[in-house]
Amino acid sequence: MTLPTSSIQAVIFDWAGTIVDFGSFAPTSIFVEAFKQGFDFTLSLEEARGPMGLGKWDHIQAVGRMPSVDKRWNAQFGRSMTTADIDAIYAAFMPLQKAKIADHAEPILNVIEVVNGLKAQGIKIGSCSGYPRQVMDVLIPVAADYGYKPDCIVATDDLPQGGRPAPFMALKNVIELSVTNVAACVKVDDSAPGIYEGHNAGMWTVALLLSGNEAGLTLAEYQAADEAALNVAREKARAKLMECRPHYLIDTISNLPEVMADIERRMLAGERP
């Protein structure tokens, strides 16, 4: 048993765009395909990215309510998207996502080293996702083969109260991990709903600028980009993520150790999230 050397009790990570799947391409590309397969409706990758972080049924509903999508949907079908339409797209989404999720399970740069460093300090590793349990059941063992094994995993449909931006998934982690103080927890996410989830749970929040949904870079694009290109991507993501007022904004998980040290310092000085 590792004796704690940190005042921080747990870090709760998102999955796609945070821990695995640089750029969060697995869900976005599948949304585009599901709209096409279910209704022969063309959805842009940018539209698919818009509500990222919500549970997938809620995500489809939010996409359908976008003015640009609603206008085209009405032009094509003579009405706005209905609950039955959402159910049909979700039904198309699920098998596509399960078939392809393993292709996007490789951990993002330095994730394993950073997570193992947290564990070495006695910090518990929680996780939650906008993916439903049946998708997570495919993703979890593949990520484990890469070396990522969190202490707790909560899927968006594990709880009857629903997912983000409500705090229930994060608080389920707190319960399962036997955390005694939510103010000693850190929520790390690449989407606004995930950061709001952390705020609503009373945790420190860390938003990721470059590895996730808002920048939308592939790993190859990230590695090939010069500083000017990275700054453009950073500012694009920052403009969206600043709306949810995270305590910290960093590029990727690689930068998390410095943030953890600063949170530790602030906690020892008596600060709370």
Catalytically active residues, by annotation: 14, 56
Q: Confirm if 9 and 180 have CB atoms less than 8 A apart.
A: yes
8 A C-beta contact, residue 203 and residue 183: yes
What are 250's strand-pairing partners?
208
**The Cα angle at residue 147 between residues 106 and 100, in degrees rounded to 5:** 30
Question: Nearest to residue 7, comparing CAs of 201, 273, 244?
Answer: 273
Specify whether the CB–CB gap between 14 and 186 falls below 8 A. Answer: no
Across 97-138, the runs of DSSP E, i.e. the strands, are: 124-127
Asked whether 73 and 80 are in contact (CB, 8 A), the reply is yes
43 within 8 A of 63, measured Cβ to Cβ: yes
Dihedral (Cα; 194, 200, 204, 206), 10-degree rounding: 20
Spatial distance between the Cα atoms of 60 and 50, rounded to a whole number of angstroms? 10
Looking at this protein, which amino acid is placed at residue 244? C
How many Cβ atoms sit within 10 Å of the Cβ of residue 201?
A: 23
